[in-house]
Structure 1
Amino acid sequence: MIDDYIQDMMNKNQIPGLSVAVVQGGEPVLAKGYGLANLEHSVPATEKTVYEIASVGKTFTATVTMMLVKEGLISLNDRITNYLDNSPSAWQSVTVKHILSHQSGIPSYTDAPNYWDLTRLDLSKAEILALVADLPLKFKPGEFSAYDNTGYYLLGLMLEKVTGQSYGDLLHKRIFTPLAMNATMMNNPRDIVPHRAAGYRLVNNKLVKKPYYSPSVTYSAGGQISNVQDMVKWELALLHGTLLSQSTLDDMWTPHPPNYGDDWEKLRYVAGLGWQVINYDNRRVVGHNGSILGFASNITRFIDDKITVIVFCNLDKITRPDTIAFKIAGYYCPALAKLEQMPPI
């Protein structure tokens, strides 16, 4: 039945390939691919297919940040400018916690008017930040919420400065190697990556290959690649508190609302620390979507229902991969199938 849903949904949305994993009660119950990872060579998608996971990777950035917080190397109340060179005066009151919970007020560089003209260029980090460095804050830090990529880009710079390691090396040392996530790494389109999926777009209702998208514009805001097989290992580490204590994880998965706004009631979600916390009638639910040229991704953790769904696909038209995850969860947990799907995360 679940296969029928997935195949029908893929046909309706013209998704070339999709991989899904489900962990229920601490046990993997599904890890499977559907459709094609590469249309030109008719390569089937499997649980080993590697996708660009975009902003799902923010959960990795947040995790390493919290590791350093627990080790006393940084504080959530530290100003991000303590770790930056030549930072704008407007950012002086922005803290690490403001960034983790998307309350910094710093404009997202991905909203810059010329951003899409620059995505094919291998820009320096300074050139990326220059897109927003001269702009005023959207609001006083902590007053409201606004999803932004700039803050998570800055967290990568902070992590490098504090540890003296590159962001990619730090992820491998702290997360990927300990968990044997051997297919998970920073994306470099030039690398030969086993089982790498091709990314696709729909243009005039026709599938075309995605254009080059420089990894310089993703970095710590979502520049990783992975497969659902590895993400099951990630989920089990979260479930068992392997990398962070349960109390720290609980703090990350608790709503951290801004001083103003009614996101919890109106939008039905509010940021935690590195995760979006979703308002599902007193259930604890956290997740994160990812979207980038050619790909869409999601992880949703229905904590109280003890089920997690991971969905990766190679079509960027899918703006609500969390909807797919929610539907899949309902096949394994009938109580979830009765709930109304929440608005976008």
Structure 2
Amino acid sequence: MMMVPKIKDSMKTICLKFFFLIGFFLPTNSVGQTNQSDLNTKLAELDDFLSMAQGEVGFPGIAFAVMQGEEVILQKNLGYANLEHKVAVSHNTVFPLYSLTKPFIAVGVFSLIENGKLTLDDFASNYVDGLPDSWKNVQIKHLLSHSSGLPDMAGSNPYEIRDFTKEQAKDRVFEMPLIFQKGEKYAYNQTNFWLLKEIIEKVSGEELSDFIIHNQFPNANDEGVFFSADAREVIPGRATAYFPWVKGKLMIDTPYANGDYFLACNGFHITLENFIQWDQRLRTNHLISEASRNAMWKLFDYTNSEKSFAYGWEVTNLNNEIGYGFSGAMATFYRTYPKKNISIIFLSNGFASMYNQDALANGISSIMLGQ
């Protein structure tokens, strides 16, 4: 049985080392708390930590929540959804999730598996016509675990394919060679989730956006959860994205249109409140059964790699506390720790300075886990 490698140093030590380099520190006194007073201490430390992170990394705006059991024990908005007009982040602010879209897609796939419409061993070519011959033995399990060995539709520079049509993107990637044999190792790419979109739509008979929203957000309105592949669309409540990619400083992200074929890769948008409700449904088996969730979170057995990754989910081990989650564009992340029944949601609309997102996620987690 594969094991998730444990981070041997204390998370506090690791995060102290990292955050010292960029000018702020992880608050102390986060050990073994159980009563309400100690919980309040944790939350105060976390509040300070978030404020320092926002100042040092330069997150324009943040929406953040911590859930324990059925309770939301901390929910906070910081900063601005739009800097130019000083529009504060609010409960109505919608954040693009970027690659954090992928766990929602994975849940959708496992709901189809649970209902007997798919299996992990099905070949992608059973559902998607016109694939190159070299792709035809790739199975759904390889797409979810990023072990397909397929070339990346996004290429080495995602800006290269902005404004590509689906046919242009397909023509380009179909000409590329395989990177390695299926199942061999982990290599994150967007082609895997483009194919999953095609499979979901074929099997469900619905557009991806309708399938995900109808099944995972039955009570949400259209303004609080939606898919969009076009950053140029005028959408009420959507946070403006700011990144340092172009000039090394905070700038409005380059408007782009990836096309709907990229929706399963990075197209989901959501408010914090709707994300909180989704987390509750996931942890209480209202999206998929406990057995399906456990199957989704099972480590994939790569033939030539020790990578700890499940089916669409990253797996972390903080001093023997196993967590599941994902992140997007260094701007968003989600972690859930089943043993402690704790989940963490972090949504932002960009950042000004490069930073280590894993250290941030681990630091926040270590406070809440009492490490």
TM over 0.5: yes
Partner of 1:164: 205
Contact kept? 2:201, 2:207, Cα under 8 Å: yes
Which residue among 319, 326, 329 is the counterpart of 2:365? 329
1:133 aligns with 2:174: yes
Supply the AA of the counterpart residue of 2:146: H
Supply the AA of the counterpart residue of 1:289: S
Contact kept? 2:154, 2:161, Cα under 8 Å: no
Partner of 2:240: 198
Partner of 1:118: 161
Structure 1 unaligned runs (5+)?
264-269, 336-345
TM-score by length of 2: 0.81
> What secondary structure, in the 3-state scheme, does the structure 2 residue paired with 1:33 have?
strand
1:301-320 equivalences under 5 Å are 301-315=336-350, 320=356
1:150 aligns with 2:175: no
Please state how far the C-alpha of 1:328 moved relative to its aligned partner: 2.3
Please state how far the C-alpha of 1:72 moved relative to its aligned partner: 1.5
Partner of 1:340: none
- Higher relative contact order, structure no. (Cα contacts within 8 Å, ≥ 6 residues apart): 2
What are the superposed Cα offsets for residues 207-261 of structure 1, whole Å, 9 maximum, x if unpaired? 2111112141631112111122111111101110001100110111121120111
Q: For 1:179 and 1:242, how far apart are their aligned partners in 2?
A: 15
Deviates more, 1:88-97 or 1:318-327: 318-327
1:1-345 equivalences under 5 Å are 1-112=45-156, 115-119=158-162, 121=163, 123-178=164-219, 183-187=224-228, 188-189=230-231, 191-202=233-244, 203-216=246-259, 218-263=262-307, 270-291=308-329, 296-315=331-350, 320-335=356-371
Structure 2 unaligned runs (5+)?
1-44
Deviates more, 1:237-246 or 1:190-199: 190-199
Partner of 2:8: none
Please state how far the C-alpha of 1:143 moved relative to its aligned partner: 1.4
Please state how far the C-alpha of 1:27 moved relative to its aligned partner: 1.1
Please state how far the C-alpha of 1:63 moved relative to its aligned partner: 1.1
- Equivalent pairs counted in the alignment come to 323
Q: For 2:214 and 2:223, how far apart are their aligned partners in 1?
A: 12
Percent identity over paired residues: 28
> What secondary structure, in the 3-state scheme, does the structure 1 residue paired with 2:172 have?
coil
> What secondary structure, in the 3-state scheme, does the structure 1 residue paired with 2:331 have?
strand
Which of structures 1 and 2 has the bigger CA Rg? 2
Two-structure CA RMSD over aligned residues (Å):
2.1
What are the superposed Cα offsets for residues 152-177 of structure 1, whole Å, 9 maximum, x if unpaired? 11100111112221111111221122
Q: For 2:318 and 2:370, how far apart are their aligned partners in 1?
A: 15
Please state how far the C-alpha of 1:281 moved relative to its aligned partner: 4.0
Please state how far the C-alpha of 1:321 moved relative to its aligned partner: 3.6
Supply the AA of the counterpart residue of 2:66: V
Please state how far the C-alpha of 1:181 moved relative to its aligned partner: 8.3
Supply the AA of the counterpart residue of 1:116: Y
Q: For 1:181 and 1:234, how far apart are their aligned partners in 2?
A: 15
